């Protein structure tokens, strides 16, 4: 079945969770209005459905291949990329002074959901390019910006992030790639990077690698890492392309999923050294890279939403079509569509509700990033930056966890056909599995949430956020509408559970950090459920005010509260009580 962009669901999240009216009223974007937002999403939806979606399954079958040192993307890829760039899609959220369209990040993220849902492998190329653009724009010199940004924003060149090395995955402090300063102010780069997405391809004339490396006299660990631009082809003073730089793709990984996206082993400096240009200051590269990584983390969260959406669409279509057993609507002796079976309905509602909850969390995070860049007042910018910082690990980890879960449910809905590759459901299950891993594993996200984000402003940031959810819970309860079922009660319980777990974390961080870290993953899940409910409930309240019946957003929010949010109290027990048994288990005896 064909992908159809979930324009209504995205608009619902934008209007109720993000508060689109408020965002527009702030006037931080010239001429932005709801019609423009919707039109952009609809156009993106067309491009995704018509151009990217038809390439998704053939791309999975063909995969990217390394031939004679060059990466060949699947048939149709180069043309689709050209149309993507020509359509201005690569320029969407980019600064206008370098040719970008300057649209809100929140809108760009909505479009990115569509690219990823229709073709996750394809969508990774603009994702990485955008990260590289952000890094250069934030910390690059004027000369670097002028040389690279216009071509990257127009889509003429793509970008990459070169962080991981075999011994340095989650621990970037262990990076060994070497950078040696030259008399002319450039650097020579030597080293091997792995897991480099779109590290090579021939869709564009040039590729702009951003590379983490270490100067010979750099301090050990993360404080001795510098960031460099290393173009695949050198750029002449007049902007034309010169010689090949000393960087090659030495291999492609054979992966579980995203087969069409080339995951490269990159060798820098097999000869005299790859020529690189410093971004920002020496030994401060990780700071810049973190800007890039935070944006990328949110985008990966959106990929989780995307794969969940795509898996749900396919499952719903199948469940409407496939007939097995008797159902309410089936005539005597005939079989009814499986979507009428109670257990299938539960599964599909679970998929829908988790997807919409994660979508809202991600789009709200994007909104806060927008405000943090554009609001007039410094205090407002700071508050938004803090909230975005708090929500980013949740947006990444919760959304990608549910992406895997929903993709798995999608396979299940198809029964035996789900296990047959040609059906397509299995591809989402395979593709989704990378999401909890890359851009910082979800374990790292949970640790980031607990150890770095909860202490922000002495706990005031998380406290304010929990206050938001508490207010929504109170509103749900006060509304006293029968179609809300027990949503108010379940929200109150969940808020209490989140509050208790958060207090526990605060105490543990101060006295015994291991006791906090050991509960980080269930804590993040608890947070994600509560935040997701918060936004679904806001949509339900808005729909209810407009006189909606008990279906649609109201039923979805109620379903989430009574079926999924109910896990919250148990998760709080896990956080506050469950760690002792783990920490008491000697690591070397685990699994013995």
Q: Which of residues 250-279 bind a second copy (CB under 8 A)?
A: 253-257
Find the shortest distance in angstroms from Cβ 316 to a second copy. 3
Q: What are the φ and ψ backbone dihedral angles of 514, each rounded to 5 degrees?
A: -60, -35
Burial tier of 322 (Cβ tally within 10 Å: 0-12, 13-18, 19+): middle
Burial tier of 15 (Cβ tally within 10 Å: 0-12, 13-18, 19+): middle
Helices 120-139/77-86 angle, 10° precision: 50
Binding-site member from 121, 164, 356, 533 for a second copy (CB under 8 A): 164
Rounded Cα gap, residues 480 and 484, in angstroms? 8
**Residue span binding a second copy (CB under 8 A) among the ranges 38-46, 81-89, 122-130, 570-578:** 570-578
Does residue 186 interact with a second copy by CB under 8 A?
Answer: no
Rounded Cα gap, residues 186 and 269, in angstroms? 14
Compute CA 202 distance to the chain's CA centroid, rounded to the nearest angstrom.
26
Tell which positions 313-332 bind a second copy, by CB under 8 A. 313, 316, 320, 323-325
Rounded to 5°, the CA angle 147-148-153 comes to 130
Does residue 571 interact with a second copy by CB under 8 A?
Answer: yes
Rounded Cα gap, residues 340 and 329, in angstroms? 8
Compute CA 50 distance to the chain's CA centroid, rounded to the nearest angstrom.
23
Does residue 522 interact with a second copy by CB under 8 A?
Answer: yes
Rounded Cα gap, residues 93 and 236, in angstroms? 28
Does residue 240 interact with a second copy by CB under 8 A?
Answer: no
Which three-class secondary structure state does DSSP give residue 219?
coil
399 token code pair: 């959304």
Rounded Cα gap, residues 484 and 58, in angstroms? 44
Binding-site member from 101, 154, 408, 479 for a second copy (CB under 8 A): 408
Tell which positions 15-44 bind a second copy, by CB under 8 A. none
Tokens 């067309």 identify what position? 46
Nearer to a second copy (CB atom), residue 276 or residue 403: 403
Find the shortest distance in angstroms from Cβ 30 to a second copy. 36
Does residue 471 interact with a second copy by CB under 8 A?
Answer: no
Compute CA 94 distance to the chain's CA centroid, rounded to the nearest angstrom.
18
Rounded Cα gap, residues 360 and 18, in angstroms? 7
Helix (H) or strand (E) segment spanning residue 75 = none
Find the shortest distance in angstroms from Cβ 442 to a second copy. 7
Helix (H) or strand (E) segment spanning residue 564 = none
Q: Is 439 a catalytic residue?
A: yes
Helices (H), 322-377: 342-374
513 token code pair: 């950090």
**Residue span binding a second copy (CB under 8 A) among the ranges 96-104, 267-275, 279-287, 427-435:** 427-435
Find the shortest distance in angstroms from Cβ 301 to a second copy. 16
Does residue 482 interact with a second copy by CB under 8 A?
Answer: no
Task: Tell me, residue by residue from 296 to 315, as one string, x for binding to a second copy by CB under 8 A and - for no binding.
Answer: ----------------xx--
Find the shortest distance in angstroms from Cβ 383 to a second copy. 30
Does residue 182 interact with a second copy by CB under 8 A?
Answer: no
Binding-site member from 279, 299, 339, 391 for a second copy (CB under 8 A): 339
Q: Which of 72, 309, 439, 493 is catalytic?
A: 439
282 token code pair: 């020496």
Nearer to a second copy (CB atom), residue 149 or residue 444: 444
Does residue 205 interact with a second copy by CB under 8 A?
Answer: no
Which three-class secondary structure state does DSSP give residue 208?
strand
Nearer to a second copy (CB atom), residue 92 or residue 127: 127
Compute CA 162 distance to the chain's CA centroid, rounded to the nearest angstrom.
18
DSSP 203: S
Does residue 162 interact with a second copy by CB under 8 A?
Answer: no
Are the CB atoms for 303 and 230 separated by under 8 Å? Answer: no
Binding-site member from 205, 422, 507, 510 for a second copy (CB under 8 A): 422
Does residue 340 interact with a second copy by CB under 8 A?
Answer: yes
Binding-site member from 194, 362, 369, 397 for a second copy (CB under 8 A): 194
Are the CB atoms for 177 and 191 separated by under 8 Å? Answer: yes
Binding-site member from 214, 352, 359, 374 for a second copy (CB under 8 A): 352
Nearer to a second copy (CB atom), residue 468 or residue 483: 483
Tell which positions 536-565 bind a second copy, by CB under 8 A. 550-552, 555, 558-559, 562-563
Binding-site member from 66, 174, 250, 474 for a second copy (CB under 8 A): 174
Rounded Cα gap, residues 484 and 550, in angstroms? 8
Does residue 477 interact with a second copy by CB under 8 A?
Answer: no
Rounded Cα gap, residues 319 and 321, in angstroms? 5
Are the CB atoms for 479 and 541 separated by under 8 Å? Answer: yes
Burial tier of 156 (Cβ tally within 10 Å: 0-12, 13-18, 19+): middle
Find the shortest distance in angstroms from Cβ 69 to a second copy. 21
Nearer to a second copy (CB atom), residue 131 or residue 436: 436
Count of positions on this chain that bind a second copy (CB under 8 A): 100
Binding-site member from 343, 378, 480, 546 for a second copy (CB under 8 A): 343
Does residue 344 interact with a second copy by CB under 8 A?
Answer: yes
Does residue 438 interact with a second copy by CB under 8 A?
Answer: yes
Does residue 123 interact with a second copy by CB under 8 A?
Answer: no
Nearer to a second copy (CB atom), residue 233 or residue 341: 341
Nearer to a second copy (CB atom), residue 76 or residue 443: 443
Tokens 């010199």 identify what position? 141
Find the shortest distance in angstroms from Cβ 222 to a second copy. 11
Find the shortest distance in angstroms from Cβ 327 to a second copy. 8
Binding-site member from 95, 169, 251, 455 for a second copy (CB under 8 A): 169
Catalytic residues: 439
């Amino acid at each position: 079945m064909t992908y159809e962009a979930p324009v209504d669901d995205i608009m619902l999240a934008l209007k109720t969770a993000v508060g689109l009216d408020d965002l527009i009223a702030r006037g931080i974007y010239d001429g932005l209005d709801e019609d423009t937002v919707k039109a952009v999403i609809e156009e993106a939806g067309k491009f995704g459905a018509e151009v990217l979606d038809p390439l998704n399954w053939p791309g999975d079958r063909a995969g990217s291949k390394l031939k004679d040192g060059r990466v060949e993307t699947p048939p149709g890829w180069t043309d689709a990329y050209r149309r993507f760039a020509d359509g201005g899609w690569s320029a969407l959220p980019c600064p206008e002074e370098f040719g970008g369209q300057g649209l809100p990040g929140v809108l760009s993220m909505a479009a990115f959901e569509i690219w990823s849902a229709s073709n996750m492998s394809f969508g990774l190329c603009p994702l990485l390019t955008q990260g590289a653009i952000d890094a250069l724009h934030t910390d690059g010199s004027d000369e670097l910006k002028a040389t690279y940004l216009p071509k990257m924003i127009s889509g003429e060149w793509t970008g990459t992030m070169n962080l991981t090395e075999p011994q340095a995955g989650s621990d970037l402090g262990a990076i060994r790639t070497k950078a040696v300063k030259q008399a002319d102010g450039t650097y020579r780069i030597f080293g091997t990077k792995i897991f480099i997405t779109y590290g090579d391809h021939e869709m564009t004339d040039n590729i702009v690698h951003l590379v983490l490396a270490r100067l010979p006299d750099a301090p050990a660990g993360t404080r001795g890492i510098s960031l460099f631009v290393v173009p695949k082809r050198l750029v002449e003073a007049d902007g034309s392309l010169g010689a090949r730089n000393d960087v090659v793709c030495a291999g492609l990984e054979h992966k579980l999923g995203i087969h069409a996206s080339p995951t490269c082993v990159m060798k820098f400096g097999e000869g005299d050294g790859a020529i690189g240009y410093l971004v920002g200051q020496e030994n401060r590269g990780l700071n810049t890279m973190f800007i890039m990584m935070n944006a990328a983390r949110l985008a990966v969260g959106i990929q989780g939403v995307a794969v969940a959406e795509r898996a749900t669409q396919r499952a719903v279509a199948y469940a409407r079509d496939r007939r097995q057993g008797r159902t309410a609507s089936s005539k005597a002796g005939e079989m009814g569509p499986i979507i009428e079976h109670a257990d299938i309905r539960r599964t599909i509602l679970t998929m829908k509700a988790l997807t919409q909850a994660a979508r809202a969390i991600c789009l709200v995070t994007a909104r806060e990033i927008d405000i943090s860049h554009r609001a007039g007042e410094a205090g407002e910018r700071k508050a938004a930056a803090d909230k975005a910082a708090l929500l980013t690990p949740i947006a990444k980890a919760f959304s990608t966890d549910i992406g895997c879960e929903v993709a798995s449910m999608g396979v299940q809905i198809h029964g035996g056909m789900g296990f047959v590759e040609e059906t397509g459901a299995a591809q989402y299950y395979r593709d989704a599995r990378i999401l909890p891993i890359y851009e910082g594993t979800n374990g790292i996200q949970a640790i980031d949430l607990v150890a770095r984000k909860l202490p922000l402003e002495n706990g005031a940031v998380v406290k304010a956020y929990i206050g938001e959810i508490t207010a929504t819970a109170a509103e749900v309860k006060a509304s006293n509408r029968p179609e809300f079922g027990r949503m108010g009660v379940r929200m109150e319980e969940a808020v209490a559970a989140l509050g208790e777990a958060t207090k526990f974390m605060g105490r543990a961080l101060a006295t015994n950090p291991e006791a906090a870290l050991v509960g980080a993953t269930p804590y993040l899940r608890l947070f994600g459920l509560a935040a997701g409910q918060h936004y679904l409930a806001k949509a339900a309240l808005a729909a209810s005010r407009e006189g909606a019946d008990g279906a649609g957003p109201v039923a979805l929010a109620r379903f989430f509260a009574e079926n999924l949010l109910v896990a919250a109290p148990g998760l709080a027990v896990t956080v506050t009580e469950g760690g002792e048994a783990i920490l008491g288990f000697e690591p070397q005896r685990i699994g013995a």
